[in-house]
Structure 1
Amino acid sequence: MGGTGDSTADRPTLSALLGRTDLGLRLASSPESLPPGALEQDVRWVHSSDLADPTPFLSDGLALLTTGTQFTDESPASFDDYVARLKRRGVVALGFGTEVVREGIPEPLRAACQAHSIPLFEVPYVTPFIAIARANAEAIAALSYARRSWALSAQRAISLAALRPNALGATLTELSRQLGAWVGLFDASGSLTRQHPEAGLSESTMGALSDEVRGVLRRNARAGSSFRIEQTSFSLQTLGRGGRLRGVIAIGGGELDQESRGLVTSVVAMAGLALEQQQNLQRARTQLRAGVLQALRAQNPTLAAKLAREVFGPLPAPPLTIGVTSAGSTAIAPLAEWLELRAEEQQGALFFGRCDDALVLLLGAGGNGAVFADMTELFDVRLGVAEHAHWDDFSTGYEQALLARKRGRDSVSVFSEVSRAGIRAVLDTADARTFARASLAPLRALDERERSELENSLRVWLANNCSYETTARVLRVHRHTVRARIAQAEKVLKRDLSHFGTRAELWAAFEATSDELA
């Protein structure tokens, strides 16, 4: 990763070892015959052995030195088997000490190293093997010291950034600069709120990263994870407590070593602490928002505007669109955090607050109405909406939005559309059906017992404006029969059917139970 002092010259790579002029090492392999990056592999250690099979005593990433005393069999197959074993064990290079046992490097060994893509270098007689091992150990120690020094310097820079006014944003920017990597902060809903550098990621990469972040947030448990998108490595660190995650920090651009991970851990701790410290302030803001809504419901828009102005800015200008979320949703808390950011973006055009265990949104003239669709897509909520409301009829608009949420079937239900069904839609409730059945029960009992037609006759009579003649034609009976049935129904129900109120109530009962008619 860039910006961390880990230049190639400081790393214990094979090319850095061969570049030490004081050692006099010479690459015996043809550079063109080696795979890309073969000379830039890290040399974790240098070991010497003249065993015919030293692999049980070797480790990955090691450079092996030998004088060749083990090569008693001069056949090419013997050399090939030896190099193949080194390759399988993960040896990154082979150094041959000349003028000790042999003059020069055996050609079969050179050919075997080329066949198995292992770099071969010559160690002159005047260079002891211990000097090569010491040089590599010093390079490792120097790198370790440089990384520790970088980590201390980076920690100081991060701490200073945390003292700036926009502490969280400044800290993330400094982290990006120190790591030489892209750093992004996602909020509790999985939306990207900050990133550095601003150029950001490609659209496809960002889409895949956002999906991964939302998956982490849905699990709602503290976690760290690493993965790759296309050719870019990413690391995710959650913010907040398990069960109440506040967001995710994403880092992309390279693998993190121990020092880099330590720096990220400190930033995560700072960010988590900053978010927790904001919790009390957020509670106060939540209460103030609720107070603004209570003032509006009490028909006191002047007080509401005064309460809101100093903290949230001006309230939205009418005509208003009022939205009420479904009550008691587990998404209320993260939704409120998401709405805080949207309200900042649309200051003076969008206001929200908690009321009756639900969130109420006020969108004014010029506001972006896409916020309603976005929130229902991101969170498990339904929304009732009332349009064209003003401050003097806010309570009416609020009640309309509540009814739209209750009666609507879509994720966003608008009162003007729900109300087209008329008053009949309100009768389609369990309570209304219970009352309706109780009102009609005497008629149904008599019809079942005596096989009369009182319920149907009364329903048709009401549906035809209480006209005996029209009802008789519909039922295909004599009008006197209709009169007799209505009179009998009146006695059974013990209700005066000459009163409009009684007729309206019975009509409503028939409407509420219309799906129960045979």
Structure 2
Amino acid sequence: MPLTVRDLLAIPSLRLRLIAGGAGLGRVVEAAHATETTSPAAWLEGAEVVMTTGLLLTGDDADSAAYVDELREGKASALIVGVGGGLPLQAVPTALSQHAERAGMPLLVAPATVPFASITKAVFVARASEERRLLERTLRTQRRLSAAAASSDGLEGLLSSWVQATGSGVAVCDASGRLLSAAGTDGQALLTEAAPVIDTVALHGLRGSGGGDLPCGKVVVQPLGTARMRGLAVLLNADSAESRLLISVLVSLLSVELERRHLADEPQRRRRATLLARLFTTDITAEQAHALLRTADVPAGPVRAVAVQAAGDPVELAADLALALPGGLARVTGGTVEVVVAQDTDIHAVLRRFAPGRPAGIGPAVAPQHAALSLRQAVALLPSSAELGRPISAAEAGSVRLLLSLGSPATLAAFADTVLAPLDAADPAGELTETLRVWLETNGSWAETSNLLGLHRHTVQNRIEKVAKLTGRQQDRAEDRIDLWLALTARAVGLPRPQQQK
């Protein structure tokens, strides 16, 4: 247990006496500091006993109150005043005792025959003894944790030993956030409450940790793994001195355990990669494809193929995706990882966590026997994904917006300006441009455009005729309509509208 003011008072050789502030006897003492200044706060770090001979203490009520306030501001544990023959004070001023009592600041008296150095030494010896006892307890606990990790109990035994030693709850999840084991707490509830912290730590891999004060208590989240993140440990109220010393030991042992599990799962990953290779053949029947998905525990129904370019080791990325995706159907082809997922899988969320910034193509949802077709489209999307810096799905690949976004911004801006600049100059309010947009989107319907804009039909016709006159594009020529529509669409994907000249 840490040294307290009560413990210091109980050391016989110091012959200290308490005269005020008994309510604070439980305060922890970490150091002793002798000073004669009446403004000691700036010289304190907290948890010190302040020792003074009272050379500058006047005994005045206001001065005594200000001195006690200084001690509180500096988070002092107690005040020790030396009194007796040859010292400035023969007794503690009454005002000082009264203010110390009101503040709950322990006020102790040391006889003149006890040097302050003896008190400093006693605090140092007590602190050193406590630290030695803490290290001995930590070493014993470390051995217990190591023995638990080496036993057949595995993860569960290790976590149970941690809770028995520290009283701190702990939950361990895989890299996808799924609970693997917990002890001393409701693991799933803890993971749910700590989800924002877990997500933040997971994005940084093994490079950091996180924590915070949550309604359930103070949590610390540590990534687990050696070369790659295999999971995360969530510790609850692990703020004791022993817990803080042991966290790194626990993280190391848990990392070894999860690496062991990863290696043990390698045959299963190979088997599922073989299943996926069969699914990607073009001669597979519907019955065979459904049977294969049942074997992999993939929900019945349409599936998507996804292709991801790996930044480093594609085998490790494939293992991560196999762990994160239901069914775990993943394989490596060259530098690309190919997977199959059920149609309703949130593949974007998985890619954000395990392949952030990596080119990825997401094929269309197809019947299982047509997975090869979905894969072909997914692979074809990789160049576009690399250029845009985000995953691309087959649904948006057929969009003109995607084609425009792949073009040179300067070229597209020049094209849009060439077509629309006359409207920009003649119509700063944008009425002609808006009427043109709605008219094109309604396939040139006068009635529908009039209804949507709340304008008379003749007003719409007059505006479109004015657009034709200004731009030189005729409303009855398909090529001219396409030019106008592409120019408006180019502006819609983010190209800047030109500044009007003043």
TM-score, shorter chain, exceeding 0.5 = yes
Distance change >3 Å, CA 374–CA 175, structure 1 → 2: farther
Residues 455-513 of structure 1, C-alpha deviations (whole Å, 9 max, x = no match): xxxxxxxxxxxxxxxxxxxxxxxxxxxxxxxxxxxxxxxxxxxxxxxxxxxxxxxxxxx
Letter in 2 for 1:379: L
Q: Does 1:249 align with 2:233?
A: yes
| CA drift at 1:290 | 1.7
- RMSD, aligned α-carbons: 4.9
Q: 1:218 aligns with which of 198, 203, 212?
A: 203
- Structure 1: how far apart are the matches of 2:346 and 2:238? 33
1:236 alignment partner AA: V
Structure 2 residue identity aligned to 1:253:
N
| Helix, strand or coil at the partner of 1:189 | coil
1:324 is matched with 304
* Correspondence for 1:11 among 2, 25, 48: 2
Question: Which amino acid letter does the alignment assign opposite residue 224 of structure 2?
Answer: L
**Residue number in structure 2 paired with 1:458:** none
Q: Secondary structure at the match of 1:109?
A: helix
Deviation at 1:249, TM superposition (A): 2.1
Residues of 2 paired with 1:295 and 1:126: CA distance? 91
**Compared CA separation, residues 95 and 315, structure 1 to 2 (3 A):** same
Alignment-derived partner of residue 359 in structure 1: 339
Q: Distance in 1 between matches of 2:110 and 2:245?
A: 39
**How many residue pairs are counted as aligned between the two chains?**
380
After TM superposition, give the deviation of residue 342 of structure 1 in Å. Answer: 6.9
Deviations 1:102-144 (A, max 9, x none): 5643211113434655322344678765554444333212211
Kept after mapping to 1: 8 A contact 2:31/2:48? yes
Alignment counterpart, residue 285 of structure 1, candidates 268, 287, 309: 268
After TM superposition, give the deviation of residue 54 of structure 1 in Å: 6.6
Q: Return closer, same or farther for 1:183/1:282 CA change in 2, 3 Å cut-off.
A: same
Looking at structure 1, the residues matched to 226 and 299 of structure 2 have their Cα atoms a distance apart, in angstroms, of: 41
Paired position in structure 1 for 2:496: none
Quick one: distance in 2 between partners of 1:58 and 1:355? 61
Identical counterparts, % of pairs: 21
CA 1:41–1:329: 2 relative to 1, 3 Å: farther
What do residues 27-72 of structure 1 show as CA deviations (whole Å, max 9, x unaligned)? 33355xx6xxx4433211234556666778765321123444544x
Give the match for residue 228 of structure 1: 213
CA distance in 2, matches of 1:220, 1:317: 28
Tell me how far apart the structure 1 counterparts of residues 258 and 187 of structure 2 sit (CA, whole Å). Answer: 24
Which of residues 56, 60, 71 is equivalent to 1:75? 60
Relative distance call for 1:221 and 1:300 in structure 2 (3 A) is same
Matched with 1:95 is 80
Partner AA of 1:27 in structure 2? L
User: Do the aligned partners of residues 104 and 190 (structure 1) sit closer, same or farther apart at CA in structure 2, a change above 3 Å counting?
Assistant: same
Instruction: After superposition, give the CA deviation of every residue in 1:373-407 in whole Å (9 maximum; x if it has no partner).
Output: 355444347464445xxxxxx6x343465589799
Structure 2 distance, partners of 1:110, 1:295, is 87
Match of 1:167 in 2: 154
Tell me the alpha carbon deviations over residues 221-246 of structure 1, each in whole angstroms, 9 at most, x when there is no partner.
5113443335733323223367x433
> How many angstroms apart in 2 are the aligned matches of 1:55 and 1:401?
71
Distance 1:294 1:147, change over 3 A: same
Q: Kindly tell me: are residues 134 and 220 of structure 1, through their superposed partners in 2, closer, same or farther at Cα, counting changes over 3 Å?
A: closer
Larger Rg: 1
Task: Report Cα offsets for 1:247-299 as digits up to 9, x if no partner.
Answer: 32222204254x54442222323333444455555554333222233345465
- Report the residue type matching 2:239 in the other structure: E
Secondary structure of the equivalent of 2:20?
coil
Residues 339, 49 of structure 1: alpha-carbon distance in 2 compared, 3 angstrom cutoff? same
- Other-structure match for 1:501: none
Matched, 1:106 2:89: no
Asked if the contact 1:48/1:129 (under 8 Å) is kept, the reply is yes
CA contact (8 A) 2:36 2:54 kept: yes
Query: Normalising to structure 1: TM-score of the pair?
Result: 0.58
Distance 1:224 1:164 in 2: 28
Q: Name the counterpart of 2:173.
A: 186
1:318 shift after superposition:
10
The verdict on how the C-alpha distance between 1:250 and 1:20 changes in structure 2, with shifts beyond 3 A counting, is same
After superposition, residues 41-190 of structure 1 pair within 5 angstroms as 41-48=27-34, 60-71=46-57, 73-100=58-85, 104-114=91-101, 117-123=104-110, 132-190=119-177
Deviations 1:335-369 (A, max 9, x none): 754654776xxxxxx563437642124x7xxxxx9
2:20 corresponds, among 29, 33, 38, to 29
Q: Partner of 1:471 in structure 2?
A: none
The separation in 1 between residues aligned to 2:2 and 2:231, in whole angstroms, is 36
For 2:48 and 2:330, the matched residues in 1 are separated by 63
Counterparts of 1:177 and 1:358, CA distance in 2 = 44
Unaligned residue ranges in structure 2 (runs of 5+): 353-359, 382-390, 404-480, 486-502
